[in-house]
Amino acid sequence: MVLVTGGAGFIGSHLCRRLIEAGHEVLCVDNFFTGERANVEGLFGNTRFELIRHDVTFPLYVEVDEIYNLACPASPVHYQFDPVQTTKVSVHGAINLLGLAKRVKARILQASTSEVYGDPGVHPQPESYWGHVNPIGPRACYDEGKRCAETLFFDYHRQHALPIKVARIFNTYGPYMRPDDGRVVSNFIVQALRGEPITLYGDGQQTRSFCYVSDLVEGLVRLMESPPEVTGPINLGNPVEFTMRELAELVLQITGSKSAMVFRPLPQDDPRQRQPDIRLAKATLDWAPTVPLEEGLKPTIAYFDALLAGRLTAV
Ligand code: NAD
Ligand code: UDP
Ligand code: UDP
C-alpha cells in the first residue's frame, strides 16, 4: 500500500493515477485545503484506491509500505493565506509521517522545493548550494518549513536509519491546477482564455524553469524506486529557463488570445531567477524531462478551456 499525502492536489492526483496504473494500492490522504475530491474522482470506482480526509498536522495511524509526502499548499497565494498553518503542515506533518514511517518501516519521500534555495546567489542551482532565504519574510513560512522538513528527514535517517528520499521540485504545471491557484502558468492561461489582461509582476524579466507534470511524476517514482543509498536531496525540474514575459507571449500565441499585458508590483522576496541543475537526477535516476513548455502548455490550456466552459466538474 502506497500512502500519498496531498494526493487530491495538483501533483498528488497525477501521482495517484500513475501509481494505480502501475498496479499499486493507493491510500490518498488530504484535508482539501487546496485539493479537490474532483481531482481524483476518476479513481473512485477502483478497488485499489482509498481516500481519507485528514490533516497531516495530526497523527495518522495506518499500515503502508511507502509514503509520498506531498501535503502542503504550494502556491504563494495559498501558503501565505495562513502562514502559521503552512509551517505546521511542513514541520508537524513531516514529524507525524516520519513517525509513521519509522513504526511501519516504510520508505518515505518528501516533496521539497526549489524554494529552499530562496532568491539564489548561484545559477543554475545544484543540490550542494545551501540557499539564500529570508527567514522572516512572507515566503519564509513555506521556505523555512520545507527546509526544516528536510532537516527532519535527514535526522530520522541518521538517528533511526529510516530509508528517506528528498526531491527538490522546481516549478511544475499541467492539468488539474486550480484556476484560482495564483501561480503564474494557471494565472496567465485563465486570463488569456477569459480575454482579461495578463498580469506580469515586476518587469516580467524574472525567470523560472517549468516542468510538465508527467515528467515530474516520473522523476518522483524513479526516486522512490532508487536504491536505499540514494537519499537526495535531488533536483527535479526542467532546466529550460524562460522569463515571465516569454511565458506570457507563449500563452498568448497558443491560445490566440488578444489579452493585453499589464504590469503589477513584484511581490516581496520574489526570486529573480531559477533554473535547476539536474546532473544528479540524470546520473542517479537516468531521468530528464521530455516535454518542452510549448508541448506541455497545450493539454494544460485544453484542460482550463474545458473547465471554464463547464465541461469539467473540478473546482
Ligand atoms: P497543491 O496545493 O495542488 O497540492 C497540495 C495538496 O496538499 C492539496 O491537495 C491540499 O489540500 C493538501 N494539503 C494541504 N495541507 C494539508 C494538510 N494539513 N493535511 C493534508 N493535506 C493537506 O500543490 P502541488 O503543486 O500539487 O504541490 C504538491 C507538493 O509538491 C507540495 O508539497 C509542494 O510544496 C511541492 N512542490 C510543488 C511545486 C510545483 O511547482 N507544483 C514545486 C515545488 C514543490
Ligand atoms: N506518529 C503517527 N503515526 C504513527 C506513528 C507515529 O502519526 O504510526 C506520530 C506520533 O504522533 C509522534 C510522531 O509521529 O508524535 C513522531 O513519532 P516518533 O516515534 O518519531 O516520536 P515519538 O512518538 O517518540 O514522539
Ligand atoms: N507571476 C506573474 N504574474 C502572475 C503570477 C506570478 O508575473 O500572475 C510571477 C511571480 O512574480 C514569479 C513567477 O511569476 O516571479 C512565478 O510565480 P509562481 O507564483 O508561479 O511561483 P514561484 O514564485 O513560487 O516560483
Does residue 243 sit within a domain? no
Where do we find the cell 490518498? 28
Residue 287 has a pLDDT of 98
Does residue 189 sit within a domain? no
Which residues, judged by CB distance below 6 Å to any ligand atom, belong to the binding site of ligand 2?
A: 59-61, 95-96, 99-100, 102-103
Kindly tell me if the per-residue pLDDT of 314 is higher than 80: no
Best mutation site among 88, 96, 102, 155 for ligand 2, i.e. most ligand atoms within 8 A of its Cβ? 96
Does residue 178 sit within a domain? no
Give the tens place of pLDDT for each residue, 131-155. 999 999 999 999 999 999 999 999 9
Tell me, using a 6 A CB cutoff, whether residue 89 lines ligand 1: yes
Does residue 247 sit within a domain? no
Does residue 12 sit within a domain? yes
Residue 315 has a pLDDT of 42
Does residue 305 sit within a domain? no
Determine the structural domain holding residue 281 and report its residue range: 2-172+211-238+270-290
Q: Which of 68, 142, 176, 212 is catalytic?
A: 142
Best mutation site among 67, 100, 155 for ligand 2, i.e. most ligand atoms within 8 A of its Cβ? 100
Report d(CA 223, CA 283) in Å as an integer.
12
Known catalytic membership, residue 212: no
Give the tens place of pLDDT for each residue, 256-312. 999 999 999 999 999 999 999 999 999 999 999 999 999 999 999 999 999 999 877
Give the tens place of pLDDT for each residue, 204-231. 999 999 999 999 999 999 999 999 999 9
**Other Cβ atoms within 10 Å of 99 Cβ, number:** 16
Give the tens place of pLDDT for each residue, 168-199. 999 999 999 999 999 999 999 999 999 999 99
CATH number of the domain where residue 157 is located: 3.40.50.720
Report d(CA 127, CA 116) in Å as an integer.
10
Give the tens place of pLDDT for each residue, 76-131. 999 999 999 999 999 999 999 999 999 999 999 999 999 999 999 999 999 999 99
Give the tens place of pLDDT for each residue, 17-28. 999 999 999 999
Kindly tell me if the per-residue pLDDT of 55 is higher than 50: yes
Residue 312 has a pLDDT of 75
Residue 313 has a pLDDT of 60
The number of domains in the chain is: 1
Residue 135 has a pLDDT of 98
Does residue 131 sit within a domain? yes
Alpha-carbon torsion angle 65, 166, 136, 273, nearest 10: -140
Within 13 A of 117's CA, how many CA atoms are on the CB side?
A: 27
Nearest to 4 by CA among 108, 75, 88: 108
